[in-house]
Structure 1
Amino acid sequence: MIEICESGPFNTVQDLGRPGYRDIGVSASGAMDPFAVRIGNILVGNDENAAVIEVQTFPFSLRFERRTVFAVTGADGHINLDGSELIPWCAYTAGPGQVLLMQQPPRLARSYISVGGGLDIPVVMGSRSTSLRGGFGGNAGRPLAKGDRIAVGEDLQIAMLPVTGLAVVEPAVALREVFPGPLDGAVPIRALPAGEHDLFAGDGEAFWSQTWRISSRSDRTGYRLSGEPITPTASIEMRSHGVVPGVIQVPPGGEPIVQMSDANTAGGYPKVAGVIDCDLWRLGQARIGARLKFVRSTHAEARAIEQAVARYVEDVRHTSQMVKRALKAMA
């Protein structure tokens, strides 16, 4: 069991989401940075889809009620256990009564706490993710609050392996050739032209050429982008159609909306582009006010990035298993 000692709004229980229900109006939800969830769960010996805590408002703290293996992934620092500074992307063991405190990270937006055994939360429609708009899943369909107590599943690692210190090189560093850094202060986000792209003047040049800023009117449902408005060359009437995370729609005001983890299931605004799946985690770690530059990609490039990510995850999994086998043999 863990107890929440301090929490701001919108901190929730998430996993990798609940796909398969969009046809009945249920958003997939899930972590804004699924990459961090997968790696954190591997570090503590869980299935990659185990439920974790997504922290996006700080400070946040929790108390461990029993000896627990945990890892903090995603954001970049300002983590401590009973006053001792910890590093992200590393597994630790907490003792009963110890308190994990997380302050606002230096650069990134969201941190994820994975615990050995996963959070023992009821499964709703195949997932433990919180749907804030629907009011179900996760912690009774609501954000975490001071005093909440969350059960933790049985951790098979804790009884036999001293896993503290097992760490990985974070994806942004290990895959720097795949995920280039900011260009003139703007995060490059790769996207493909979408269904109504050709309705925008100059092959959508105004969308691709300018730098956009994430508006304060953004949340887990969608990022509203501030910039020079773009509009179709002709007025069109569209029927509502299915949308998924990554779709970039353009409402009448001309400032795009990027659908995120709690994306609407349908909408009628024209679609100018769609973010490639492997770049969605970078959006999930971008703060309000961050600057973005969309880079026109190809299906071949998207597939190559997907393969590089898969190799990284497999390498982390394989290395983790090798270290744990070696430790077990020495015990």
Structure 2
Amino acid sequence: MGMKIMTGGFLTTVQDLGRIGYQETGMAVSGVMDQHSAKIANILVGNDCGEAVLEVTMMGPSIQFTEDNVIAVTGADLGFAVNKQPAAMYRALSVHAGDILEFKALKTGLRAYIAFAGGLDIPVVMGSRSTNLKSKVGGFQGRKLEAGDEIGFRAPVRVLDHMERRVAEAEVMPTKEIEVRVIMGPQDDCFTDKGKETFLNSEYAFTSELDRMGCRLEGEVIEHVDGGDIISDGITFGAVQVPSHGKPIIMMADHQTTGGYTKIACVITVDLPKVAQAKPGVKLRFKEVSVEEAQGLLHEENVRLASLRDSIEKEKNEETIRFKDAGTLPSAAPEVQAAAKAALTAALKENALSPAGDYIYWVPAGTFRIRVGEEEFTVELEKETFGIR
């Protein structure tokens, strides 16, 4: 089968990257609140980034596996454990039929994500497996998970290749204060200069009124030119609405498709996870950035995710590089860990090559300084390689 829910936790739902293309019909996008954490979890278990995961809020479920598979847990630290023993987050783990997954207590963050190799056997509704709680559509019967629910795996595996590589650096969860970058508009002209200055220079705090639909903030009143009501228009994930009372509301994944309040700004995509993981009481300051800056930051994030997948799935280059002077090879660490276009052999001179040595070492991709005899070379390595010294 797959797994059986023993207790559902506070709010555990099936989510993917959302139901795209239906807002004009009144159907919200939904999907995971913290896309970055969910994508990392899926990469660790070999799934596409858009595969459905379980989103766990505040207090996690207890799950008994009825079939072997590989899982990964990312996002908030909720005290993840398997068979009552603390288990590692941000790492692929093999679980077996009879194993029990549970969460002990909320430590940092607000939402955790569980990915399952091969995906969950959940029907696709309007192009997505996401749960829309308001409409009772998608996911597991359109609702949160409860004790007794059973969910199957589509293509489970007992183990994945390169399990030792399937690990990622844990994301830092917000604890006290965060900076949230925004693009101003589309109705920033509905606010006075003083109101916009207040928005960008004041400290706000997350209140207890936060859920998958939106987060209410407490802080300085933002001044309108002539009230906060407008003719209803479209809303997007991250839109910052300011009703006539002057207190901002950040719209989240289950936001309504249209709204009649002025929107002073929109949170950029890469900062939405910060908002999704912030608990009541966390302080927030907004910072204006340009569209170009936001696009650049998103590109950088996508490159990092692609690099994580490559570090797991790409085979090592088995070509052996032999060096002449074993005592001077190479620098202990790369100067720059980055994608490179030139192969190592292209940068070395012919007299640097010699018959095979007796110790094989591994070099990661990046830029290195390598000294061979009296000569020093700066070389770029496109992918992992082996050398002998």
TM-score, length-scaled by structure 1? 0.90
Aligned-partner SS, 1:87: coil
Residue matched to 2:8: 7
* Deviations, residues 33-59 of structure 1 (Å, cap 9, x unaligned): 111111111111112111110000314
> Unaligned stretches of 5+ in structure 1?
174-180, 327-331
Letter matched to residue 275 of structure 1: V
- Taking structure 2 as the reference length, the TM-score comes to 0.77
Higher RCO (C-alpha under 8 Å, 6+ residues apart): 1
- Larger-Rg structure: 2
The SS at the match of 2:209 is coil
Q: Check if 1:191 corresponds to 2:209.
A: no
- Which of 264, 268, 272 is the aligned partner of 1:272? 264
The CA RMSD over aligned residues, in Å, is 2.1
How many correspondences in the alignment?
316
Residue number in structure 2 paired with 1:137? 138
In structure 2, C-alpha distance between the alignment counterparts of 1:150 and 1:323, rounded to whole Å: 33
Q: Could you tell me which residue of structure 1 aligns to residue 166 of structure 2? A: 166
Identity of aligned residues (%): 35
- Name the CA shift for 1:170/1:237 in 2 (closer, same or farther; >3 Å): closer
Provide the residue aligned with 2:97 in structure 1.
96
Q: Is the 8 A contact 1:163 1:324 kept in 2?
A: no
* 1:117-137 alpha-carbon deviations (Å, 9 max, x no partner): 111100000000000000010
2:235 equivalent to 1:223 = no
Distance 1:170 1:160, change over 3 A: closer
Deviates more, 1:197-206 or 1:293-302: 197-206
Deviation readout 1:144-175 (Å, 9 max, x if unpaired): 111111111113x53664736721113449xx
Structure 2 runs not aligned, ≥5 long? 319-389
User: Counterpart amino acid of 2:170?
Assistant: E
Secondary structure of the corresponding residue to residue 302 of structure 1: helix
**1:329 paired residue number:** none
The whole-number CA distance in structure 2 between the counterparts of 1:87 and 1:77 is 12
Q: For the structure 1 residues 239 and 101, does the alpha-carbon distance in structure 2 shift closer, same or farther, using more than 3 Å as the test?
A: same
More strand by share: 2
Amino acid at match of 2:87: L
Would the alpha carbon gap of residues 134 and 77 (structure 1) be closer, same or farther in structure 2, given more than 3 Å must change? closer
Answer yes or no: is the 8 Å Cα contact 1:4–1:148 preserved in 2.
yes
Name the structure 2 match of 1:213. Answer: 205
Which aligned runs of 4 or more in structure 1 are off by greater than 4 angstroms? 323-326
1:116 touches 1:158 (CA, 8 Å); kept in 2?
A: no
SS at match of 1:223: strand
CA pair 74-325 structure 1, distance change in 2 beyond 3 A:
farther
The Cα shift of 1:93 comes to 0.2
- Aligned match of 1:308: 300
SS in 2 for 1:283: helix
DSSP 3-state at the match of 1:216? strand
Q: Is the 8 A contact 2:41 2:115 kept in 1?
A: yes
